[in-house]
Amino acid sequence: MIPASLSSAIIEHSDDAIISKTVDGTVISWNSGAERMFGYTASEMIGRPITRLFPSDRLHEETNIAAQIQLGEKISNFETRRVHKDGASIDVSVTFSPVRDASGKIIAISKIARDVTASRQQRLAREARELREKNQQLERSNRDLEDFAYIASHDLKTPLSGIRSTALCLEEDLHDTLSDESRKLLSMMRSRINRMEALLDDLLAYSRVGRTDTAVSETHVADIFDRIIEVLSPPAHIQVRIEGELPVMVTASAQLEQVLRNLINNAVKFHDKQSGEIVLSAKRVGDFMEFVVCDDGPGILPQFHERIFQLFQTLKRRGEVESTGMGLAIVKKLVEQQNCCITVQSEGDGTGTQFRFQWPLQQSMVDGKETAHD
């Protein structure tokens, strides 16, 4: 058995703060380690509430810890924060032990606290460094994947053109001898070549996001709208119109045009009624323009709202609507390049769909990259 005098000497000269308190939180002993750690002398703390050391957002801990100890729970290596006499925050690791009388009743609680501020900062720095390294690895992987997509889709277009030419030559040379079944197969081949070319074009467009067409200039969005209508040439039964005025912006017009063109084209392509309307509108929200593309088509069920922005996803069979499933994925990537997001509102009940996204009102070029003004 360790003599009481030796035990007291060990406690007094420990580098850790060793403190005893009553069940209700009043300090009854305070060693020199506690003085060094918290800056208060024993005379300043004995008889005072232990919560004097607690930050305002940690006061609840005293009640919770006391309740846990009364239930017989052992609390060790509990990391929390305390406050030095000078107001500085201290990260501590704490172990609590009950002190019982002869009948087993808890009459006090002893606590050993160790300053872990330095080790915690080292751990946080290490975790931050590891996170940066993982982010860098992810960025490299993304760049490698985009490079692969660009090279693969670009290089695949050459043999695909060769296949198209071969099929055309066969059809011309054997025109008089082809059976109906052979003509059908050649027609199917041409259709699939067209689909593959469209897919490669969209894959190239996806891999080019942030690489090309980033030139910033004064842009009249109304002019963009006119070009989109001219290129898409929507069917007569679908009216595509502007609601209100469209802004003049300093932005990467090619990227904004691609977003609007894909959204409007998507609305036209999937419209399933005898007559329909697609409306483009815009309003200023702080330093951004909020664009809305709204249609009165079939809509999109809520469970598919996330899926539609993924690569190669389409909600209709290939035979029903000619689509690569890339249009909205490109839209999402372009919008996120602007540190913005795109949302969809639709119930899929035939009452239409609304796509909403924000775009920086004014951008500038810094180191070859477009940036939004604050």
Comma-separated ranges of CATH 3.30.565.10 domains in the chain:
214-374
CA distance 223 to 154: 31
Q: For residue 154, what are its two tokens?
A: 């670009």
Would you say 252 and 363 are in contact if contact means Cβ atoms under 8 Å apart? yes
Helices (H) and strands (E) counted in the chain, each on its own, are: 9, 14
Instruction: Name the CATH superfamily, with its identifier, for domain 214-374.
Output: Histidine kinase-like ATPase, C-terminal domain (3.30.565.10)
CA distance 18 to 35: 10
Comma-separated ranges of CATH 3.30.450.20 domains in the chain:
4-115
**What is the CATH class of 4-115?**
alpha beta
Whole-model pTM: value is 0.50
CA distance 207 to 201: 10
How much is the pLDDT for 81? 92
CA distance 59 to 52: 9
Ordered mean pLDDT values, 10 residues apiece, the chain (374 residues): 53 83 92 93 94 91 84 80 93 89 88 87 86 83 68 71 82 82 83 76 68 76 94 92 94 90 91 91 94 94 89 57 71 91 92 95 56 50
How much is the pLDDT for 166? 82
CA distance 205 to 153: 10
Please identify which residue in the block is written with the tokens 């070009």: 227
Q: For residue 218, what are its two tokens?
A: 């004064």
Would you say 62 and 50 are in contact if contact means Cβ atoms under 8 Å apart? yes
User: What's the one-letter identity of residue 262?
Assistant: N
Judging by DSSP bridges, how do beta strands 238-242 and 276-285 pair with one another?
parallel
The DSSP 8-state label assigned to residue 26 in this structure reads B
Comma-separated ranges of CATH 1.10.287 domains in the chain:
118-208
Report the Cα 235 to chain-centroid distance in Å. Answer: 38
Looking at the domain that runs over 118-208, which CATH code has it been given? 1.10.287
Return all residues near 320 (Cβ < 8 A) that are at least 6 apart. Answer: none
Beta strands, E only, 59-151 = 75-83, 89-100, 106-115
Residue 88, SS3 per DSSP? coil
Closest to 230 measured CA to CA, from 252, 198, 208, 261: 261
The DSSP 8-state label assigned to residue 57 in this structure reads G
